Structure 1
Amino acid sequence: MGNKKKVVTTLVERKSRMVFLIKNNSKHSKGVMERIGNKFENLPQQMLKSITFDQGVEFADYRYLEDKMSCNVYYCETHSPWQKGSNENMNGRIRRYLPKTTTIDNVTQKELDLLADKMNLCPRKCLGFKMPKEVFIQQHKNDCRTWS
């Protein structure tokens, strides 16, 4: 998501629907992959087994993540948005707060973190009206103690 130079990478954990928003200075793959790696560098390895990306050029340097995070990277098929439905749904929710007309240059990472918190504390029907953060913590109750 984003316009002009800076962009926001949206990552959604598949089972809990927990969202992570990362501000990037551009769509250059190396920088995007480094920011994703930095976001999850303290995450216990058992909590991140794989990541699925779309075919965007910003995700071309996937080997960096495979090496740094010891996780598998997969890609959706071209023109198959249903293969990343949770992410597409989350982008729609985020657009309520950051319309396409928003200049990402004016949005800070702290503001994105607060927006992600807001999304992660919103009960979801698909989760039995539990919150994504609640489900994520339940899934990883032993692992979450070591990750902040």
Structure 2
Amino acid sequence: MKKNPYVQFTKYLIDFMFLSGIIVCGGVPFIFKEAGRYIPIFKENYFPFCIIFMMAGVFALIILWNLRKMLQTVIREDPFVRENVAALKRMGSCAFIIAFIMSLRLFFVITPAALVIILVFLVAGLFSLVLSQVFDQAVTYKQENDLTI
């Protein structure tokens, strides 16, 4: 089968996001130190913000890592496997953890962006868990079909 350009583009995008995410996550202390020169809230809450954003970043990297693994199964044209079910459950859990971590930020400053981020990750977590159930059923049907043949 011919390679789908959308799949290839998505693969490169996720790879770029993963690698740049590692760099940004590691650079948070330096970025926030510099931001503190211009935005007082970053200077006042430097240490808690570093911890909050680095922890959220690690869980975001776990989500991206799982997306990379899932995309490999799409490229191999075998996406309905148990590993993807587990990956979707992990991504859902990570999304809920990110929402919780970002809600801790509300103790320091409440912004509309923080509320949107929390909502987005709550919805993403729910979506991932529901999708894991869909994939679980698809894997079960596939395995039953393979046994029939």
Q: TM-score scaled to structure 1, two decimals?
A: 0.25
Which structure's CA Rg is the greater one? 2
Larger RCO, structures 1/2 (Cα 8 Å, 6+ apart):
1
Q: TM-score scaled to structure 2, two decimals?
A: 0.25
More strand by share: 1
